[in-house]
Amino acid sequence: MRRRRIGLLGGSFNPAHAGHLHVARHALRALRLDQVWLLVSPGNPLKPRAGMAPFAQRLASAQAIADGVRVLATGIEAEIGQRYTARTLRRLSRLFPCARFVWIIGADNLWQLPRWQRWRAMAGRTPLAVLPRPGWTRRALHGAAASQLRRHRRPPGALLPESPRGRHASWALVPAREHPASATALRAARALVERQAG
């Protein structure tokens, strides 16, 4: 039986927006995935709680942009009690033995990857698909994570959701148009409208 190829796009989704959907759809095509799951974090350890919408609200915003078939929104990290990506991936691999996962990140997250808990172990086990982000792509490709993982970089078409046992997982920069949408900008615009209305 063929194992399903699942892309995992994690994030706060505070709120979810067209840029997230752009990344999910592009990853589906470029990596020949069966699905992309929008993995809504119960709380990103690297982000302040101030300004973070409640989990239910962020999950609802992700569900609003998902199609429910190829792009799914899920709160499974909250359900399994995990907030750290390395732990989440280990748990998901046990919960879904017939799936093979690819972790999808923006170039901004490739830049800050060394701040993630057990990032080297995570990158060694799970393939990474890196999508361009405005202002971050060139910087990230010259950053610490890209430098340390340089010999494991592959073309997008060669990025396999499953690495042979004992082999280091690969990573790829997936060429795509940079989408300008930003959750930070959306929150700022919303706050401005609320101030003007008040």
Q: To the nearest whole number, what is the mean pLDDT of the chain?
A: 89
Q: Average pLDDT, stretch 83-103? A: 95
Query: For residues 183 and 169, what is the distance between their CA atoms, to the nearest angstrom?
Result: 30
pLDDT tens, position by position, 97-155: 999 999 999 999 999 999 999 999 999 999 999 999 999 999 999 999 999 999 999 99
Please check whether residue 36 is in contact with residue 27, taking contact to mean a CB–CB distance below 8 angstroms: yes
Whether the predicted pLDDT of 195 surpasses 50: yes
Whether the predicted pLDDT of 78 surpasses 80: yes
Whether the model clears a pTM of 0.85, i.e. scores above it, the answer is: yes
pLDDT at 193: 47
Query: For residues 37 and 74, what is the distance between their CA atoms, to the nearest angstrom?
Result: 7
pLDDT at 94: 95
Query: In this predicted structure, which of 40-54, 82-96, 107-121 has the lowest mean pLDDT?
Result: 40-54
pLDDT at 11: 94
Beta bridge partners of 131: 106
DSSP strand pairing (71-74 vs 171-173): unpaired
Better-predicted residue by pLDDT, 34 or 47 = 34
- Provide, for the chain, the percentages of residues in helix, strand and coil under a 3-state DSSP scheme, each rounded to the nearest 5: 45, 15, 40
Q: Average pLDDT, stretch 89-101? A: 94
Query: For residues 170 and 168, what is the distance between their CA atoms, to the nearest angstrom?
Result: 6
Q: Average pLDDT, stretch 17-36? A: 94
Please check whether residue 176 is in contact with residue 29, taking contact to mean a CB–CB distance below 8 angstroms: no
Band of pLDDT at residue 51, cut at 50, 70 and 90: confident
User: What residue ranges define each of the domains in the chain, with the CATH number in brackets?
Assistant: 4-197 (3.40.50.620)
Query: For residues 117 and 157, what is the distance between their CA atoms, to the nearest angstrom?
Result: 28
Query: For residues 171 and 123, what is the distance between their CA atoms, to the nearest angstrom?
Result: 8
Two tokens at 178?
């940079």
Helices and strands, number each (H, E), in the chain = 9, 6
